[in-house]
Amino acid sequence: MAETNEKHTAPWTKKTPTAVLVLADGTVIEGFGLGATGKVVAEVCFNTALTGYQEILTDPSYAGQIVTFTFPHIGNVGANDDDIEDLNPAARAGAVGAIFKADITDPSNYRSAGHLDGWLKKRGIIALSGIDTRALTALIREKGAPNAVIAHAPDGQFDIEALKKEAAAWSGLLGLDLAKDVTSGQSSVWTETPWVWNEGHGERTGEPEMNIVAIDYGVKRNILRLLAGLGAKVTVVPAKTDASTILAMNPDGIFLSNGPGDPAATGEYAVPVIRELVDADLPVFGICLGHQMLALAAGGKTVKMHQGHHGANHPVKDHTTGKVEIVSMNHGFAVDSKSLPEGVEETHVSLFDNSNCGIALNGKPVFSVQHHPEASPGPQDSHYLFRRFANLIRERKGEPALAER
């Protein structure tokens, strides 16, 4: 993103609302438009993170969703090209809408390359500001994540009745496979390593220590960076890649990525592949959607959550260590822990609502977690899980283990 001195006109200077959020129950919330113009129907959720709005809005797991930020000041550190999480920015995988309490202030950060409003326009994200986001968050907590239409028109003209009908008619995320819309179009090798302050991202060089195939259901860049940072050759393959193609790459381990939508819908084609890979007795590590579909492959079930978990301050207990860690989360579906069959161990649990946050298959080098250990944004308490995965591979190769912490 090139440095720019673009001017931003505060929406507060306009008297007529230029954006609306119309919920499926007919509720109309007026505000001031930012970002792209037009309208889109999606599910409304809220995110409690204090930082990382670019990473949040470009996380492919948010496809089909409008993100309400509970933190009031969004955009004050500007926008740049380094804080993007989707693999293909041109595909605009991620949130389709955003809701802010306050107007975007002018950026003040040494890494800023432009104003968030301009970045939203380029990404095609419709945004709304000037509303009581605490009241909207309370509504979601009480009634669940609603379907809605978010619309932005500079002239403030809206056909409210038509928008109400559109919001009410949308079937929602249940039964919807969105991984096919955000996955990579072809296989590729990822070499970028984690960001280091004052140096930026590095590149994996030299002979790789292990060969990992990552199935892309909507993978985040920082996951791939952490895998590459372990010295791994990381080959990213599309969501519908068959097991024989993956096994022909002679992987030392398989990674099942995060992603959007209903795991049961994506699982119709993904679960048979995952079962074949597990039967190949290779180390397997899954995150988020990958975790949910591993549970389905093992015989468990998934359920739609009331409001989902979205934020960077969620406490999770790792039963394997007895430790509690603060993690990033972003999911509207969850594994039903009561449905887990014999041979599947629950390894992690949310301390907010006791929902399942991790499983391991007994007797196999296979495990997964619901939360996002790569953070971006969020705390790095769970980075050890990537080393745990690497150690399963190193054990198979007869190599010494890495320290998990």
- Give the catalytic positions in this structure: 288, 372, 374
Contact between 262 and 269 (Cβ < 8 Å): no
What DSSP state is assigned to residue 351? T
Tokens of 255: 């990674």
Contact between 199 and 176 (Cβ < 8 Å): no
Contacts of 184 (CB under 8 A, 6+ apart): 87, 88, 216, 236, 237, 238
d(CA 176, CA 170): 11
Q: Which of 328, 94, 42 is nearest to 219 (CA)?
A: 94
d(CA 303, CA 364): 25
d(CA 161, CA 237): 44
Segments in 280-383 forming alpha helices (H)? 289-297
Q: Which of 86, 36, 90, 89 is nearest to 61 (CA)?
A: 86
Contacts of 155 (CB under 8 A, 6+ apart): 18
CA dihedral 224, 229, 231, 233 (to 10 degrees): 20
Q: Which of 209, 210, 360, 391 is nearest to 278 (CA)?
A: 360
The number of beta carbons lying within 10 Å of the beta carbon of residue 132 is 12
Compute the half-sphere exposure of residue 361: CA atoms within 13 Å on the CB side of its CA: 23
Tokens 């419709």 sit on residue: 126
Complete DSSP assignment for 238-259 = ETT--HHHHHTT--SEEEE---
Three-state SS for 290?
A: helix
d(CA 14, CA 154): 10
Q: Work out whether strand 19-23 and strand 28-35 pair parallel, antiparallel, or are unpaired.
A: antiparallel
- Residue 349: its H or E element: strand 344-350
